[in-house]
Structure 1
Amino acid sequence: MEQRRGAEPLTSARVDSWTWAVRLFKTRSLATAACRAGHVRVNGDRAKSAQPVHIGDEVRVRSAGFDRILIVSRVVVKRVGATVAVECYVDKTPPPPPREEMALTPARDRGAGRPTKRERRDIEKLRGH
């Protein structure tokens, strides 16, 4: 657990502060905005930005159309490095569904079709223009 100088270990932190500290959001204001928009849930309920999170709480963060499901294993309030951030939660997010094979856009063979500007200039040089 994160400790403050001269104080006992932290038992709770604001959800916006915690999600920012463990690098789920780039800025604290983005974390607050996500809470306000209803993209963050704590134990299944929509979380306001000041709602406290405790060890063992389930935090769901909706980003890019998918939910990340995290179990709080360590409470931090200050932003930490990526290696430390991973230790602050247990990721229960299911693996993403397999991506569907998309048809590749057809590519034209070189020399087929209309010449490029460079090729046109080379042709004009050969013709003596």
Structure 2
Amino acid sequence: MAQKQAEDDKIRLDKWLWAARFYKTRALAKAAIESGKVHCRGERCKPGKEPRVGDELQIRVGLEERTVEVKALSTVRGGAPQAQLLYAETEQSIVKRENAAALRKAGAMGISTDGKPTKKQRRQLHQFHGAGSVE
């Protein structure tokens, strides 16, 4: 049992990210770390870095960016409920992520007024002005 605990204390960052279900595979976690999408304590890190309980990680997955605090270490990838026990997302991160999602949703609905119109909006303008009909 003591050896198992000692093994859990020494875990690679890419393996922890995989076990915490931020990435589907360890290879994806490693690639994300190497490309600078994961920062530990505000600095870029390597896949072999050993995270410690209490460390703050900034993780970018797709369009989402999360700031999480490491609560526990694990080398085993379990279900989602077990994975959520490994970290706690900060309140600032949650608010920032929700605001970004709301902005993306507003942009997807066509509410954005800056820049030139999209192809769909141009078609709607042509149809509205009668230029789109051929008779």
TM (normalized to structure 1)? 0.71
Q: Which has the higher contact order (CA 8 A, sep 6+)?
A: 1
- Report the Cα distance in structure 1 between the residues aligned to 2:52 and 2:2, rounded to whole angstroms: 21
CA contact (8 A) 1:11 1:55 kept: no
- Report the Cα distance in structure 2 between the residues aligned to 1:42 and 1:103, rounded to whole angstroms: 37
Find 1:41's aligned residue among 39, 44, 68.
39
Q: Which has the higher strand share?
A: 1
Alignment of 1:1-129 (within 5 A): 5-7=1-3, 9=5, 10-92=8-90, 93-95=93-95, 96-97=98-99, 98-99=102-103, 100=106, 102-103=109-110
CA contact (8 A) 1:73 1:90 kept: yes
Q: Which has the larger radius of gyration?
A: 1
- Report the Cα distance in structure 1 between the residues aligned to 2:9 and 2:72, rounded to whole angstroms: 9
CA RMSD of aligned residues (A): 2.3
Give the gaps of 5 or more residues in structure 1. Answer: 107-112, 114-129
- Report the Cα distance in structure 2 between the residues aligned to 1:28 and 1:53, rounded to whole angstroms: 15
Give the gaps of 5 or more residues in structure 2. Answer: 112-119, 125-132
- Report the Cα distance in structure 2 between the residues aligned to 1:72 and 1:103, rounded to whole angstroms: 38
Match of 1:24, SS state, is coil
Q: Which amino acid aligns with 1:59?
A: L
Q: Which amino acid aligns with 1:7?
A: Q
TM (normalized to structure 2)? 0.68
* 1:73–1:64 Cα change, 3 Å: same
Q: Which has the higher helix share?
A: 2
Q: Which amino acid aligns with 2:11?
A: A
- Report the Cα distance in structure 1 between the residues aligned to 2:26 and 2:69, rounded to whole angstroms: 20
